[in-house]
Amino acid sequence: MPTQQFHIEKHVHGGVCLSHDSDGKVTLLEGVIAGETVSAKIYSTNKNLQKGRATQIIEASPDRVQPACKYFKQCGGCDFQHMTYSQQLQAKEDILKDLLLRNGHSTLASAAGKLLTPPLASDEEYHYRQRIRLQVDTWQTLGFFKRRSNDCISIDSCLLAKQELNNCLQNLQQQQAFTRLLSRTIALELLFNPANKRITLVFHLTQKPRPADKQHARVLMEEIADLEHVFFCGKGFATSGASVLSFSMPPTRPYTKNEIELSWETGGFCQVNLGQNQKLIQTVLEYCNVTETDSVLDLFCGMGNFSIPLAVQAKSLLGVEGQGSAIRSAIKNSKNAGQSNTTFTKQPVHDACSAMAKDGKSFDIVVIDPPRQGVPGLAAQLAQLTGKRLIYISCDPATLCRDLAELLELGFHLVQLQPLDMFPQTHHIECVALLEKRPENH
């Protein structure tokens, strides 16, 4: 399609910007900044919407910078590297405001101007990820998917990854044993262990590992000193073996006076930006405002990221999680912290909440940290289970707004929204919402 000229109106959810063509058709464009005038080529169109990418910047934003990554134009990962970091933060706040205003709920529209605070910036704009996952395409190319493609761009480093991960990746690519393993691999994870600065590899294979594959892994362990473990997993078979990664959480007064060590198994979940995770934990603790008489319910509790520091102050804490390895880690972390007031249950969260609501159970404070899809259909149960306040941690602002609108109709009052930049150089936004029960619902 021919190149067209556009004035960029605003940033919207998904890492793109909104504009209109000369006929008034809604257009979403990549690689631009609000306020710019650009030429763009359209690559997708239907009756109501078209999508494109800038080909020339006619009037540039003062916040436009040269992307630091040599793969930026091809790689489908980072989509905000063409902005200054301050503009990235502003764009994320604007995206949240836009979603709140367009949700249709009057309270959320009001929150866009009164309750939404500026995002908490990351101390590290690059090299913050302690975990990366690389893909292997049908051509045996190891890297990240290209934009709008299932083909990979070959990479030897990622500016978002810890430098130790990049060093390990470059060493791997020089090993014949690694090349042979790639022929049976569809994805590769590199995990940095903050406790000892060493690396764990997880090969996602197309078939169960053969003796030759295990021998190749042994060779890698011998040749690369920074490797701690090499595991294989795939459809129909689990990670062979187990290792534990961990980090120490500094004191979070008044909750903890000493460091708490949190660990998780390979294959389990931990936030990739550990510096920002500390700020996230502190925000959740402040919003919970737990006292020694409070009971706490932590849903999607994982390995106890919030549970363990919350339980230091609470009377009791129940953690619910559907993943077995996460529950094992949570129990271990609580035990290592010397806690006797915690219980952790492996059960799908929706099922657990339905059962507890049916039994008439209630908790002073409920914390919920769901996956990207949020918690559709759970608002009524959350309203029954929450005694005083609900803290909702979200990694997707669109599903957060949807769920908040439901909760506000069921006796909750929205007090504050705190975005947090867990993923610099990308459009992704973490957000913590504090809701309290209305007085008549206590």
Catalytic residue positions, numbered: 395
Query: Per DSSP, what are the bridge partners of residue 258?
Result: none
Comparing C-alpha atoms, which of 29, 13, 16, 14 is closest to residue 5?
29
Exposure pattern of 309-334 as b/e (b: 16+ CB <10 Å)?
bbbbbbebbbbbbebebbbbbbbbbb
Q: How far apart are CA 290 and CA 293, in angstroms?
A: 8
Q: How far apart are CA 375 and CA 366, in angstroms?
A: 14
The two beta strands, 295-299 and 342-346, are unpaired
Q: Which amino acid is at 94?
A: D
Report residue 125 CA to chain centroid gap: 16
In this structure, what token pair is assigned to residue 84? 């200054």
Distance of CA 217 to CAs 172, 222, 301, Å?
Answer: 11, 9, 33
3-state secondary structure of 327: helix
Distance of CA 380 to CAs 102, 207, 350, 385, 401, Å?
Answer: 23, 44, 11, 9, 16
In this structure, what token pair is assigned to residue 183? 């022929």
Q: How far apart are CA 160 and CA 122, in angstroms?
A: 12
In this structure, what token pair is assigned to residue 336? 């290592």
3-state secondary structure of 27: strand
H or E element at residue 228: strand 227-233
Dump strand ranges (E) for 325-377.
342-346, 363-368
Sign of the dihedral through C-alpha 288, 290, 296, 302: positive
Residue carrying structure tokens 């997708």 = 44
Residues in the chain: 442
3-state secondary structure of 42: strand
Q: What angle do CA 261, 267, 271 make, to 5 degrees?
A: 50
Q: How far apart are CA 295 and CA 53, in angstroms?
A: 51
In this structure, what token pair is assigned to residue 332? 């271990």
